[in-house]
Structure 1
Amino acid sequence: MSDEEPLRSSGRPGTPPPPASRAELRSPPGTYYRRVALGTILPGAGLIGTRWRVLGWVLVVLALVTGLLLLARAWRGGLVRSVLDVAVRPEVLQWIGVAVMVAAVVWIGSIVLTAEQSWPRRRRAGRWWRVAFAAGACLVIAAPAAMAVRYLDVQSTLIDEVFVADGFGEGRDVALADVAAADPWADVPRVNTLLIGSDAGKDRWGVRTDSLMLVSTDTKTGDTLLIGIPRNLERVPFPDDNPLSAVYPNGYDCGDECLMNGIWTLAESRPDLFEGVDEPGRQSTVDVVGEITGLEVDQSVVVNLRGFRALVDAMGGVDVNVRERVCVECHQTPSGRIEFTGEKEEWIEPGLQHLDGRLALWYSRSRAGSDDFSRMRRQRCVAGALLDQADPVSLLRSYPQLAKVLKSNVSADIPAGELSAWVDLVLRIQEGGSIRSLPLTSKVVEPGYPDFAKIRRLVDKAIEPPAATSTASPSTTGSPAPSGSTTPSGSTSPTAPPSPTVTPDDADAADLSATC
C-alpha cells in the first residue's frame, strides 16, 4: 500500500480516516530532517515551509536583525573590547541572561513546532530516529544557553563581590570623564594602582604584605612602570592625614621590627584611631606607599598569595624567562645551606619556562640562595608576564574555576561602574604600551636607612625621563623632592650611613624584557 492510499481507521470497518493535507501525505523522506536542521541553525527557518510560515519569517527576521546589530557593535568596538565591556556591567549581564533564556525557549519551541508540522503522518518507519533527531536539535540549543546563563551569573556575582560600588576612601576615586565617552581617561593623564600580595591565613593573625608593587600607567599610551616596594624598609613615613602620623611623627621607627610589611597589621591593631574606616590596614598601606614614592595611589588590589597558585593554574600557567636557578619547596639555613622540604630536590632552571601555579608561586616567593631584591624582580617578571599573556578567550575554558579563585582571594577598591574604562586601559597596555621596571635594589636603597627623597626622585625620573643633555645624577641626595611630590615626615635619617654607590643603570627604569 502506498503512502497516498487512505488507510482505514481503527474504528468501524470502512470508515475513512480524517482528511490529511497533501503535504502530510506526500512528505519526502528528507523533508523532516532538513526542516528541523534549518530550524536549529536559524530560528524559524524550518517553519517557512509549513502553515506557520508567517511565524517562521518573523523569527528569521528577528534573529538576523539581532545578529547584525551584534556584529555591528563588535565591528565598531572590536570583538574582544566589546565582549569585555559588557562583561564588567552586572546589570547588563542580568538582562542578557534573561534574554538568553527567553530566546532559548522560543528557539526550542520553534524546533518542536517544526518537527510537529513536518512529521510524516503516514510513515511509521524510523519514528524513533526522528524523535531522537528533534531532541538532539533541542539539546544543541539548550546546552550552550544554559552554560551561557551560568557564566553570566558567575560573572555578575564576581563583579559584585570583588569590586566595590563606590571608590575606596575619601578622594581616592580616579576623576574619570564619562565612562561611556570615547576616551574616559581623557582628563586622567596617569593612574597608579597598588598591587598588594597578602599572606593572610588561618594560622596567622592579621595581614602581612608579602609583596608590594605600584603599577603606574600612562593612560594615553598604555606605557606602564612597575615599582617594587621593598617589604623590609624601615622608618617608612606616614602622611599627615593618616592618624598614625601622630603616633610615629618620624616614621615607623622602632628598629628592625618595624618594617613596611607590618603597616597593615599596625593600623588594624589601632581601631581607635580609624573610627568609621572599614579597612585601616589597607588604607594605611596605600598612604605609606604614596608617601614613599611621591605618587597619589588611586586604587589598590589585594591578592591572597595562597590563591595565587590556583589563579595561575586557572589561567593555564604562565611563560617566564627564568634568569637564575630557583629552588622549589626549600629554605636556607642560617649557615647558608639550602635544604629541601619536599620529597625530592627540585629546581626551576634558567631559560624560557612554562610555570604552573605551584612553580610560579615558588619562583615569585623563594628567598633561598637569593635576597628580597632578587625576589622582587622575579615578582615583577611574573606580574608582567601574566598581564601580557592574559587571553580573555582562553580564560573562558576554565572560567567558573577562575571566578571562584578570584572571589575568594582578590579584592579591589576599583568602583564597579568604572570597570569598562579599566578594560579599555588594560587593552591599551596589551596592544601598544611598554612595560618597564624600576629596580629599587640594595644598590639603590639601604633598607635600614632609606632615603625617601631619593626614591621619589628615581620614581619621578622613571615616569618623566630627563632630557638626554641632563647630567644630573639620580643618586645625589639632599636635593628637593620633585614637583608635585609630597615630603613625608621622617624621610631623612641623621644617623644613616652613606648611601651605596649607584651607577645610572642601577637606578634607571628598564624595559621589563631586559630584566626578565
Structure 2
Amino acid sequence: MARHAQSKQVRVHQSRALRRALGLTLLSTIVPGAGLLWTRLRAFGIVLVATCLGLLGYLGMRVYRHGLVGSALSLGLSTQALRIVLVAVIAGAAVWILAILLTAISARPRPASRDDRLATTLMAIICSLAVAAPSAWGARTVALQRDVVTTIFGHDAPGSSGTGAVPQVGEDDPWVNIRRVNVLLVGSDAGTDRVGVRPDSMMVASINTRTGDTVLIGVPRNLENAPIPATNPLHTVFPDGYNCGDQCLINGVWTLAHDRPDLFPGDPNPGLTTTRDVVGAVVGLPINHTVVIDLSGFSALVNAMGGVTINVKERVCIGCKALSDGTIVGTTGYIEPGVQHLDGYHALWYARSRAESDDFSRMRRQRCVVGALLDQVSPATMLRRYPALAEVLKDHVAIDISQQQLPAWVPLIERVQQDGTLRSLPLTNKVIDVIDPDYDKIRALVANAISDNPTPVSTSSSTPSTPSDSGSTSPGSSSSSTSNDELTTLAAAC
C-alpha cells in the first residue's frame, strides 16, 4: 500500500514537472527567453528578455515620435535600414528558436521518461515552427521591399535632379525651402501588341509641401499645337510647337523624341524627358518628378490591392471600339451606374473606355479612379497583399525619385494623406479648346487652382471642340449630363 502511494506521488510529481516544462517552453515562445528565467540558464534568459524589452521600447519611442505610418515609411524606403532589419529578423529568429529548444531541454523533468522527452520535443518543434514561419515570411517581405526600392528608385534616376525641387534630407522639414512639388503621372499604352509608347493618360499632381493640399490636373491627350520649350532639343525641329494639325497631338511627342535619339545624346529616355518638358510648358509648372505605369500594370495593381470601389456615374462599355464611321464594335458588356467594386480588368476599362463617350469623360473617370485608389489604400491591405503588389511595382512602374531623396518624402506623404485636401482641375472641352488651345488661359487656370484661395472655374466662355482622335459620343451618352468640369474637391467630382 505504501509503495503504491509513493508511486502515485512520483507520477503526480512527474506530471507537474512535465506541465511546468511545457508551460515554460510556451512562455519562451511568447517572450523570447522568458521561460529560461526558471531554469539553470536564467542568466541567458535575462539577457534575451532585456534585449526584447529594449527593442520594443525603441520601436515604441519611434512610433511615438514619428507615428506608425511615418515609422513604417522611414524603414520601408531605406535600403540600409532594410538590410539591417533583414539580418536582425534572421538572427533574431535563430536565437529565439534556440531559446525555445534550450527551455524545453533545461526544463525537462529529471529524470525524464521516454514520454517526457517525446512531449517536450514535440512542444519545442511546434513552438519553433510557430516562430520560424512568420519570421521567414517577414524576411521574405523585407527582402522583397529592398528589391522594390532598389529596382524602382535608382541611385541616379533620370529627371531626379536639376528640377529645382531637391529636398534637404535629414532636416526636420526637408521641404522648408520648397513651396510646391509637381509630379507627372503617365499611363503608358506600351505593350507587346503596340509599337512605341503613346501616353494614354497624363495628370500632374501639384503638391503644396506646407499644407499637403494637392491638385490633380488632367491634361488632354489630344491637345494640338503643344509648345516645346527651347530647353528641349526637339525645339529645333518644332520651334513653333508641335503644330501639324490633328495628326500632331500632345501624346505623340514621346514617340517623336524616341525616334530622334541623335538629338538627345546620353539621355536614356528622350520620350519621357520630352513629355515631361512639354506638359510642364502646357500647365506652366516645372515638372519635378515623373511616375509611369503601363496599362497592364494598372490592371494588376488594382487586383493586387483587392479591387477598387467606384461611384460609377455613367454607363461604360467594355471591350468596345469606335470605328471611323461612328459604329461601335466589340462590346462585351457594361459597367453600370452606381457604387461598384471593380477588379483590375473592369477598373482599367472604366478608366480607358471612350467609344460611347469621349476623351474628356474618360479624363474625369481616370481622376476618380486615381483618387479612389489613394483614398482606399490601407496599411493592413498593403501588408496582406504585399508580395503580389511588389511584383507589380517592380515590373510595371517607373519613378524617377532617387533613393537618396526617399527619406524626405516620408513627412510629405504623411502631410498629403493626413492634412491635405485633394482637388481636381479638369482641362476638358468645357473649359478649353483642344484644337486651338489658349495656353495662356490654361496656365492661368492652373495658377488659380494651386493658389491658396482659388476661384471657381468658368465654363461658359469656352467653345467645345473635339478632333477626330477623341472618340465619338453616341446618342444617349450620359457623359455631358454627369460631367463636373469645375475646380472642386475630388470627392465632390466623383
* Same fold flag (TM > 0.5): yes
Contact 2:184 2:287 in 1 (8 A): yes
Per the alignment, residue 511 of structure 1 pairs with: 489
C-alpha spacing 1:290/1:297, structure 2 compared with 1 (3 Å): same
Residue 304 (structure 2) pairs with residue 299 (structure 1) = no
Per the alignment, residue 411 of structure 2 pairs with: 424
Residue 430 (structure 2) pairs with residue 443 (structure 1) = yes
1:201 maps to amino acid: G
Question: C-alpha deviations, 1:41-69, integer Å up to 9, x for none?
Answer: 11111111111111111111111111111
Contact 1:3 1:26 in 2 (8 A): no
- The structure 2 residue matched to 1:359, chosen from 333, 346, 357, is 346
The offset of 1:407, in angstroms, is 0.6
Residue 367 (structure 2) pairs with residue 389 (structure 1) = no
CA distance in 2, matches of 1:95, 1:227: 40
The offset of 1:465, in angstroms, is 6.0
Map 1:220-231 to 2 at 5 A. 220-231=210-221
Residue 278 (structure 2) pairs with residue 288 (structure 1) = yes
C-alpha spacing 1:473/1:79, structure 2 compared with 1 (3 Å): closer
Per the alignment, residue 261 of structure 2 pairs with: 271
Question: C-alpha deviations, 1:110-135, integer Å up to 9, x for none?
Answer: 11111111122333335433322110
The offset of 1:336, in angstroms, is 3.6
Which runs of 5 or more residues in structure 1 are unaligned?
6-23, 478-504
Question: C-alpha deviations, 1:308-360, integer Å up to 9, x for none?
Answer: 11100101111111111111122234444433443xxx221112211111110
> How many residue pairs end up in the alignment?
465
Per the alignment, residue 11 of structure 1 pairs with: none
Residue 67 (structure 2) pairs with residue 78 (structure 1) = yes
Contact 1:4 1:25 in 2 (8 A): no
Question: C-alpha deviations, 1:249-308, integer Å up to 9, x for none?
Answer: 110112211111111111011111101111111110000011001101000000011111
CA distance in 2, matches of 1:316, 1:242: 41
Map 1:56-95 to 2 at 5 A. 56-95=45-84
Residue 354 (structure 2) pairs with residue 373 (structure 1) = no
Higher-Rg member (1/2): 1
CA distance in 2, matches of 1:83, 1:89: 10
C-alpha spacing 1:249/1:113, structure 2 compared with 1 (3 Å): same
Per the alignment, residue 336 of structure 2 pairs with: 349
2:163 maps to amino acid: R
C-alpha spacing 1:368/1:3, structure 2 compared with 1 (3 Å): farther
Map 1:482-493 to 2 at 5 A. none
- Aligned-residue sequence identity (percent) comes to 48
2:59 maps to amino acid: L
1:329 maps to amino acid: G
The offset of 1:4, in angstroms, is 8.7
Contact 2:105 2:120 in 1 (8 A): no
Per the alignment, residue 191 of structure 1 pairs with: 181
- Relative to the length of structure 2, the TM-score reads 0.89
RMSD: 2.4
Secondary structure at the aligned position of 1:303 is classed as strand
C-alpha spacing 1:474/1:357, structure 2 compared with 1 (3 Å): closer
Residue 369 (structure 2) pairs with residue 401 (structure 1) = no
Going by fraction, where is helix more abundant, 1 or 2?
2
Per the alignment, residue 502 of structure 1 pairs with: none
C-alpha spacing 1:154/1:173, structure 2 compared with 1 (3 Å): farther
Map 1:454-493 to 2 at 5 A. 454-464=441-451
CA distance in 1, matches of 2:271, 2:42: 66
Contact 2:431 2:458 in 1 (8 A): no
Secondary structure at the aligned position of 2:38 is classed as coil
The offset of 1:365, in angstroms, is 0.1
Which runs of 5 or more residues in structure 2 are unaligned?
8-12, 463-482
Secondary structure at the aligned position of 2:309 is classed as strand
